[in-house]
Structure 1
């Protein structure tokens, strides 16, 4: 046998037997599924979209998730990390998208226009990320992610009460089912191990849906009329509009997503034993931008790497990128079945409430976990950075009329807590702590990525 023939294949490039590949790929899909469909449900509900429209958003989301995952794992030209990464819609974008979509002067088409534009800007900006990392040490990223989680908690709490616009809002039955879902998730997390523990949120939602069905609170109207198979068409809701302020808002979201992804990419490189260098990092970040562009074109939202799947790679020890590529194919297939999406869209909001409190609380916990790496004892300035930035970020949450006297054109800017918190944290950190070197910033991003991964 020749030396080249005997050379072992790196675990990242290992091609497993098809049955095992499919099973492991399906596991990755199940782990991310609840998070993947949560954003369309949140945004669709906030924009008062019909069940049919929300179902379409879910189909489009899964379809675009699959495409972005394939590009990230297999590579395409200058795109792709070529590591086991699953791509999904980022929660970072939820609050600003809702602010843009509910702005009387803007709407859903402006969300898609800003998504496409920010994705393109992200592709162009990817090679500069080493310099931009200096603006986002853990004290900044941890603060921003904490604000994202706190902002989203209101969504989960209102879901638990039945959802905005529900004439029976606050019904004790809704609260009881939501609490039961929360208890179910906690029970599975505490007492179940292995695969089922990884899909605790999904199992909790399934349990809550069954309970709601038994109580006669689930309507599957429209499911029977939905086709079994259907293509996701680009620009389904119309031609996107490109509002400058909305684009600026989503571009900042893109930048924050880059910081999150950088930490995840560096962490997964360590997990699989293939360290991520600068060139590889740029290829991976370009997929965040390209995936976001694809998302806007196919009527969905910005994309990033899913941290729970990074954690799954570490838990299972299976490092093959082909497993995640199979997961991408499964996501594309799921995106082509409207009937399945209608079933998911029919899940009552009060069922999602219990799961939402867990999911959004975990986002907050991730931010706190990152902040735990920050020096708060010797550097008292960091306390001011965190306190003021969280306070500023909470303004739109605490008082939606705080900025009502300002020009309407600035509404997406001032109504986005994440944007306000990001600007505040970046400026205060630069003022108090100065800017770090690129090498030190990369090391801190890697540490923050591991902390975020551990939180999931």
Structure 2
């Protein structure tokens, strides 16, 4: 058994041949490109920036995502970087807060965006400083909690795949058209067929091939728009403080700090999930290194004109699907992302992949995240304890924001900020219920290497 664990750990540090390494890294980049484009588009439009400036934001996002991914996978010194195969990118959880900040300065785009960057800068410092304290909560994340959180992350992302499959833009006349839905289902079928019939390395690239074939079919059907590729510049330089020095507004900072607590909770689930997926042991120090990376990346993001960075859950699903666990593959993805940030035409090409094509792949990637959570829960003891109740209630409450997005509209703004994400709602519920049922008053403890392991929770 020990040998098996050692073999799993060695896969994290495995260095694949250059060709295979590039192929798998390219697949990771394609998997996260929609998310990398979406946040700059939303926030840039909310701030009132021009199209050229929004394209600049997209390139800045890819540029910093590359740096953050390299740091997370390879490490930076002794205290930053968990050295795991985890792609970093802009977080969707921060969008509502940043749009609210930008809307405060309507008609003054540069003040709006620099106020956002000021809040991002402070929040990055906050996460970096809080990382070692937050990581001490690791003991409150036994398998019943991590399995539940990972499952919730997958379930919460699946509606994104559904929306992409319909065309993403709910205001568009073609939204949910048969053409879009059939395109998404076609890509899904292609990926499933490739995964079944291709062997070895080729089968592991089913997502990549599915996206390429799907984009080719979509182009033939007139569903792809490559106008931005033609209009994009050849080379882009991302100078620090391109829009001006950051402006610090107390209200904006407080709202962003609240959101960063949410992101730290979600990031903890992703970091633990990746460690379990690749068979690498996790402790509070490595969790702190992973969270510090998010803080450091968010801080430099504010300098290089972009937004808070954390783990991309779809890429967690990709690691599970392909079985490729090498952090050097993901580090190569970081290099590719960094280069995309320097060459707008390449970035625009990735951004031109039609949403229905991404949606078809999203069903597989996001579903694999949920599958990973179910696998973790498979190792949890459910007889004679309340673990079933923890899982049931946590998943149930996590569905509230998905089923009724405005469920908390009658509550104070901070409640909306905290619970607008089903991942946050479910994660906090799982943690608190585990403490209530398995920690408070628990007498069945085992001391292992000086750490308390609560057997009821596992």
Fold shared, TM-score > 0.5 on shorter chain: yes
1:248 deviates by 1.7
- Retained in 1: the 8 A contact 2:85–2:328? no
Q: Does 1:97 align with 2:94?
A: yes
- Retained in 2: the 8 A contact 1:27–1:195? no
1:38 to 34, 37, 41: 34
2:274 to 257, 264, 279: 264
- Within 1, Cα distance between the matches of 2:51 and 2:378? 41
User: Cα 1:289–1:205, aligned 2, differ >3 Å: closer, same or farther?
Assistant: same
Q: Which residue of 2 aligns with 1:384?
A: 389
After TM superposition, the structure 1 = structure 2 runs for residues 14-163 of structure 1, keeping only pairs within 5 Å, are 22-43=18-39, 49=45, 55-81=55-81, 83=83, 85-89=85-89, 93-94=91-92, 96-101=93-98, 115-128=120-133, 131-163=136-168
User: Cα 1:333–1:27, aligned 2, differ >3 Å: closer, same or farther?
Assistant: same
Q: 3-state SS of the aligned residue for 1:89?
A: strand
- Within 2, Cα distance between the matches of 1:27 and 1:369? 27
- Retained in 1: the 8 A contact 2:277–2:372? no
- Retained in 1: the 8 A contact 2:446–2:453? no
User: Cα 1:210–1:59, aligned 2, differ >3 Å: closer, same or farther?
Assistant: same
Partner deviation per Cα, 1:41-91 (whole Å, 9 max, x = no partner): 44457669597667545433432232224334554344445846453227x
Q: Which residue of 2 aligns with 1:255?
A: 265
1:127 deviates by 2.7
Q: Structure 2: where are the runs of 5+ without partners?
A: 1-9, 105-111
Moved more, 200-209 or 336-345: 200-209
1:430 deviates by 0.6
Q: Does 1:303 align with 2:299?
A: no
Q: Does 1:433 align with 2:434?
A: no
- Retained in 2: the 8 A contact 1:130–1:438? no
1:206 to 184, 208, 212: 212
Partner deviation per Cα, 1:254-289 (whole Å, 9 max, x = no partner): 23313432453576575xxxx777656644442233
Q: 3-state SS of the aligned residue for 2:88?
A: strand
- Retained in 1: the 8 A contact 2:320–2:372? no
- Retained in 2: the 8 A contact 1:25–1:326? yes
- Retained in 2: the 8 A contact 1:150–1:360? yes
Q: 3-state SS of the aligned residue for 1:228?
A: coil
Q: 3-state SS of the aligned residue for 2:145?
A: helix
Provide the TM-score with structure 1 as the length reference: 0.77
- Within 2, Cα distance between the matches of 1:70 and 1:29? 12
Q: Which residue of 2 aligns with 1:5?
A: none
Q: Which residue of 2 aligns with 1:451?
A: none
User: Cα 1:78–1:433, aligned 2, differ >3 Å: closer, same or farther?
Assistant: same
- Within 1, Cα distance between the matches of 2:226 and 2:439? 56
1:192 deviates by 1.3
- Within 2, Cα distance between the matches of 1:248 and 1:165? 30
- Within 1, Cα distance between the matches of 2:368 and 2:406? 28
Provide the TM-score with structure 2 as the length reference: 0.77
- Within 1, Cα distance between the matches of 2:203 and 2:418? 39
Q: Which residue of 2 aligns with 1:410?
A: 415
After TM superposition, the structure 1 = structure 2 runs for residues 202-351 of structure 1, keeping only pairs within 5 Å, are 202-234=208-240, 239=246, 242-262=252-272, 264-265=274-275, 270=280, 282-298=288-304, 299-304=306-311, 307=316, 315=324, 325-351=331-357
1:180 deviates by 0.5
- Within 1, Cα distance between the matches of 2:258 and 2:307? 18
- Retained in 2: the 8 A contact 1:115–1:250? no
User: Cα 1:373–1:180, aligned 2, differ >3 Å: closer, same or farther?
Assistant: same
1:342 deviates by 1.1
- Retained in 1: the 8 A contact 2:226–2:352? yes
Q: Structure 1: where are the runs of 5+ without partners?
A: 1-10, 449-456
User: Cα 1:236–1:291, aligned 2, differ >3 Å: closer, same or farther?
Assistant: same
- Within 2, Cα distance between the matches of 1:440 and 1:204? 47
Aligned residues: 423
Q: 3-state SS of the aligned residue for 1:223?
A: helix
1:120 deviates by 2.5
- Retained in 2: the 8 A contact 1:131–1:438? no
- Retained in 1: the 8 A contact 2:74–2:331? yes
1:177 deviates by 0.8
User: Cα 1:391–1:410, aligned 2, differ >3 Å: closer, same or farther?
Assistant: same
Moved more, 212-221 or 307-316: 307-316
User: Cα 1:47–1:121, aligned 2, differ >3 Å: closer, same or farther?
Assistant: closer
Moved more, 187-196 or 77-86: 77-86
Moved more, 178-187 or 364-373: 364-373
